[in-house]
Amino acid sequence: MVDDALRELPAVWYGQLRTLPSRARDEIKRYFHGKCLNVAGFVSHICSNEFAEWLHRCATEDERQLCFLQAFCARVATEVEILHWLETIAEEIGAALDDAWAAYCTELSQKWNSHIQVYDGPNLSADELTHRLSEFILTELREAACLAKSGSQRPAAGESIGKIGVTAILLLLVGLLGPEGAALAIPIFVVLAAKHVWDYVMSRLDDRGSESQNAISSRLALLGNRVGSEFEREVRQRITDLHIWQERSIRAAAAQVARERIGLI
Amino acid sequence: MPPLARILFVAWFVAAAAGCEPSAPPPPAPDTRTPLEYFFDTQGATVTPNGRILLDTATERDGKIEYSTEDGKRWSVTYSRLADGTYQYGTPEELTPVEATREKTTSEDISNEEQASDEEVP
C-alpha cells in the first residue's frame, strides 16, 4: 500500500516545487514593484536632515535599524499590508497544494481499495482517507507551530491552524521588533532582505544628495528582488516540510487501515 | 495719543476684529499635471525589481498607466489622485503579450509597422 501511494507522489512534489515557489517570488516582486512607484516620499525622508538627526539620537545599532524599518513601514508599506499580501499569496499557493492533495487522496483511496477488497474488507471512501491523512498532517502542523514560537518570533499563521496548505506556508517566521505594545511584526525574511538596504543607507548618511536618492531607489528595487528570493526559499522549505508530513501521514494511515480492514494479516 | 493716531488705531482694531488681518500665505497651487504627465515627470529615476521604467513606452489606457520595464515585461497600473494633485499608484498587473500588443492601435504604431514592412520589400 505504501509503495502504491509513494510511486507517483515524487512527480507531484517535483511539479509543486518547480512552479509554486517561483510563483510566490514573482508575486512578492510585483508587490514591491508597485511600492517602488511610490517610493519618492520615503527616499526624500531618509535623505533628510530630520531623519539623520533622529538616527543620531538612537543609542544602539538595533535602535537605528528599527528607526529605518519604522520609516519604511510608515511611508512605503505597513507591516499589516505586507503580512496581508503574504497571506493572499499563501492562500493562492495553499489552495493549489490542497487541491492537488485532494485529487491525490481520491486516486489513492481507489488504489488502496483494490488491496483491501482482496481481504473482503469494507471500502475506504476518498473523503474518509483525506480526513485521516489530514488529521496526521494537522498534528504535525500544530507541533511545528509550537516549536516555531519563541520570545520575539512567531509563525505568521498565528494560533489558528486552518486549511493545511495555507497554514503550512504561513509557518514562516514573523519577528516582533521594538518595544512591547508598539512592536512591528515583520516577516524575518523581509528583515534579512532589508538589512542590505539599511547597510547602504548607513554608509551614505553623510552624503544625501540627489544622486544618493537615485541610488537608494535602486537599492529598494533590489530589496524587492531579495525579498522575492528569500520568500521563494521560505516557500520551498515550507512545501518540503509539508511533503515530509504527507509522506509520514501516508505511512501512518497505511498501517492504520491495514490494521482495521485487513485485521489479522 | 493724537486724534489722528487714535482714529487709525480704532480703524485697525475694527478691521482686525472683522477678519481683515494680513492673511496667511496662499496655499500652493494644486498640481494640474495629467496622470501621464505626472508619471513621466516622477518615474524617470525609479528602478523596480524588473529594472528601470522605459518612459517612452508609457501610455494611458482605460484609466490606467501602461509601461514597459527593462526586462521586456509590460505593465498596467492603477492610479489615484491625492488631495494635493499628485498621484499614488497601485500594484501593477503584468500584461500578457496579447494584451501588450493590443495597444498597437495608435496611428504612429501602425505607420511605423507599415514603414517597416515597406522596407522589407526588395
What letter does residue A150 receive in the DSSP assignment?
Answer: B
Output the pLDDT for position B19.
53
Output the pLDDT for position B110.
45
Residue of B nearest to A210 (CA): B45
pLDDT-above-70 percentage for chain A: 91
Residues B89, A37: C-beta atoms closer than 8 Å:
yes
State the Cα angle at B57 between B52 and B59, rounded to 5°: 120
Q: At what angle do helices A210-257 and A126-148 cross, to 10 degrees?
A: 130
Chain A partners within 8 Å of B49 (Cβ): 29, 32-33, 36, 221-222, 224-225, 228
Which residue, A235, A229, A199, A197, is CA-closest to A216? Answer: A197
Q: Which of A37, A213, A221 sits opposite B43 (nearest CB)?
A: A37
ipTM of this complex prediction, to 2 decimal places: 0.70
Residues B91, A40: C-beta atoms closer than 8 Å:
no
Residues B75, A214: C-beta atoms closer than 8 Å:
no
10-residue averages of pLDDT along chain B (122 residues): 64 57 60 87 86 93 94 94 83 85 52 48 36
d(CA B48, CA A156): 27
Calculate the CA A156 to chain-centre distance: 8
Q: CA-based Rg of chain B, rounded to a whole angstrom?
A: 27
In a domain, B99, yes or no: yes
Residues in chain B, overall count: 122
What letter does residue A93 receive in the DSSP assignment?
Answer: H
In a domain, B70, yes or no: yes
Domain count, chain A: 1
Domain that holds residue B103: 30-120
Residues A34, B50: C-beta atoms closer than 8 Å:
no
pLDDT category of residue A173 using cuts at 50, 70 and 90 = confident
In a domain, B43, yes or no: yes
In a domain, B17, yes or no: no
**Three-state DSSP class for residue B66:** strand
Residue of A26, A37, A220 to mutate when probing chain B, most B C-beta within 10 A? A37
In a domain, B22, yes or no: no
In a domain, B7, yes or no: no
Calculate the CA B9 to chain-centre distance: 50
Q: Does A196 touch chain B (CB under 8 A)?
A: no
Tally C-beta pairs within 8 A across A and B: 50
3-state DSSP of A222-255: HHHHHHHHHHHHHHHHHHHHHHHHHHHHHHHHHH
Distance from CA of A32 to the nearest CA of B (A): 7
Chain B contacts to A (CB-CB under 8 A)? 42-43, 45-51, 75, 77, 88-92, 94
**Start-to-end CA span in chain A (Å):** 13
Measured CA distances, A8 to A11, A101, B63, B115 (Å): 6, 12, 48, 55
Distance from CA of B24 to the nearest CA of A (A): 25
In a domain, B8, yes or no: no
Residue of B nearest to A34 (CA): B91
- Those residues whose C-beta lies under 8 Å from the C-beta of residue A93, and which sit 6 or more positions away, are A20, A23, A24, A165, A169, A235
Minimum mean pLDDT range among A64-68, A128-132, A223-227, B70-74: A64-68
Q: Which three cell numbers stand for residue B19?
A: 477678519
Which residue, A13, A25, A18, A16, is CA-closest to A233? Answer: A25
Residue of B91, B93, B94 to mutate when probing chain A, most A C-beta within 10 A? B91
Mean pLDDT, chain A, whole residue set: 83
Q: Which three cell numbers stand for residue A182?
A: 508598539
Q: Does A217 touch chain B (CB under 8 A)?
A: yes
Domain that holds residue A72: 2-262
In a domain, B62, yes or no: yes
Output the CA torsion sign for A34, A36, A42, A44.
Answer: negative
- pLDDT at residue A99 above 80? yes
Taking residues A217-246, report their average pLDDT.
Answer: 88
Domain count, chain B: 1
**Residues A155/A175, Cβ–Cβ less than 8 Å:** no
**Residues A83/A107, Cβ–Cβ less than 8 Å:** no
What letter does residue B103 receive in the DSSP assignment?
Answer: T
pLDDT category of residue A224 using cuts at 50, 70 and 90 = confident
d(CA A239, CA A188): 18
